[in-house]
Amino acid sequence: MNDESADRGNLFADIPAHLPEESVEILASGSGPVRIERIVSRGHRSPDDFWYDQAEAEWVVLLSGSAILRLDDLESEAISLVPGDWIHLPAHRRHRVESTQPEIDTVWLAVFFGE
């Protein structure tokens, strides 16, 4: 029998009223290279000339709001995301957030893992 209680929550609960920076909360992680995060954006975007270049793969789904992503290659068009859209970004696939809606919460669920 397992004596640990189950963690639980709601992805739309306890979002801060004031978000000067994007909110990142680790929801679950384990001894292996897996991490699940809730990310909340409200008008946030990547800084100019900044690209995420992560050592792990990322699978992310947009739960609310909207966002525009860009991948780092010359032929990449902006990728518009609406609720339900997901994208898998392999490790070291450079990307950035071009924009999120400023007036509503853009809630992401991100799963990071080794490849």
CA 25 from centre of chain: 10
Domain-located, residue 2: no
Distances (CA, A) of 25 to 5, 32, 39, 115: 20, 18, 6, 23
pLDDT cut 70: percent of the chain above it: 94
Compute the C-alpha angle 76/80/104, nearest 5°.
140
Note the pTM of the prediction, 2 decimals.
Answer: 0.87
- What is the tally of structural domains in the chain? 1
Domain-located, residue 14: no
* Residue 100: strand pairing partners: 67
pLDDT digits (tens, 9 = 90+) for 13-68: 999 999 999 999 999 998 778 999 999 999 999 999 899 999 999 999 999 999 99
Task: Supply the range of the domain harboring residue 43.
Answer: 23-113
CATH number at residue 40: 2.60.120.10
pLDDT cut 90: percent of the chain above it: 83
DSSP string over 16-34: -S--SS-EEEEEEE-SSSE
